Amino acid sequence: MSDRIRNAPELLPGLQFYVDVFNTLTTSRPIFQGGIGYIPYSEISQFCRDEGIEGEMREDLLFLIGELDKFYVEWQSKNIKKKIDSELGSAKARTGPTKGRR
């Protein structure tokens, strides 16, 4: 068992629902070359309508999914940037110095 699994945080009771909703809605986010976008508000709102989620629970869901999504997009952006920087560094190392080349 990896350390990531062994040391995974435990969710407080009731929060797994929001993680499950996030995982369901994450497939509706726009994906573009070099990154990902946020889950559209319209998708979260439609999920609430489809599931009959109203009132305070709807507001909580909108807020929590939005916060999870912000964290996820920032995390993904950092990982994508690291990967691109690493690949650029590897490519430069393979081609050698370019100063004075024609």
The pLDDT value recorded for residue 49 is: 98
CA distances from 83 to 60, 69, 94 (A): 34, 21, 16
Instruction: Give the model confidence (pLDDT) of 6-49 as tens digits.
Output: 888 888 888 899 999 999 999 999 988 778 999 999 999 999 99
Instruction: Give the model confidence (pLDDT) of 49-61 as tens digits.
Output: 999 999 999 999 9
Which region among 2-6, 16-20, 65-69, 91-95 has the lowest average model confidence (pLDDT)?
91-95
Hey, where are the domains in the chain?
26-90
Q: Residue 25 CB: number of other CB atoms within 10 A?
A: 19
Tokens of residue 100, six digits: 């004075």
- Given a cut of 80, is residue 83 above it in pLDDT? no
Which region among 8-12, 33-37, 67-71, 94-98 has the lowest average model confidence (pLDDT)?
94-98
Residue in 5, 10, 13, 25 with CA at minimum distance from that of residue 65: 25
Q: Around 40, how many Cα atoms within 13 Å sit in the side-chain half-sphere?
A: 8
Q: Backbone phi, then psi, for 31, in 5-degree steps?
A: -125, 135
Please indicate whether residue 78 or residue 26 has the higher confidence score (pLDDT): 26
Amino acid, res. 10:
E
